[in-house]
A and B are shown apart, each in its own frame.
Chain A
Amino acid sequence: QKEVEQDPGPLSVPEGAIVSLNCTYSNSAFQYFMWYRQYSRKGPELLMYTYSSGNKEDGRFTAQVDKSSKYISLFIRDSQPSDSATYLCAIVTGNQFYFGTGTSLTVIP
């Protein structure tokens, strides 16, 4: 079983839609949960991180962690064309990062 599973998409939504991106993980020892955005030909850029179950909000982005289900989500409200990118979840234990495969998102104007 892979450490982190993420639906690769692609996902296409109209501008203004709410987007839900999800990952599952296998190891309950994982400590930190992060979401990265990666534009084409660029390095991943950290969007949000959390280490506890529950929700964390930052502007239009909400990160949600359910440790009992080993499930994390990223919600994007009022999606914009500039949100079009690949979104990677990353889960951390110790000093090692495990990335999901990334979900490709396109927001259509």
Chain B
Amino acid sequence: QVQMKETGPGLVQTTQTLSVTCTVSGFSLTSYGVHWVRQAPGKGLEWMGIIWGDGSTNYNSALKSRLSISRDTSKSQVFLTMNSLQTDDTAVYYCAEQYFDFWGPGTMVTVSS
């Protein structure tokens, strides 16, 4: 049974760096990729990036300069790191399995000055 869960800081200051963790179970990170998707309040879904089973990554071009996705396969965890945060980075951050079959419940991150 696949499960995914995001864990984030809740509140981050502007210009600081965001770190969100996605912990998965029921599949291997070396076999399947994990996406990050975010949703600002009242807005649609925005694809952020993916880390593939081989460890390579693809990023949304609009976020690429600020975004990094990494993983710890021994802990079944995927990490999203994004720097130079602004208030419009306030959103629910989701992780999802490679085929978008399974999503986490999301974690709300508020960026405040």
- Do A and B pair up? The answer is no
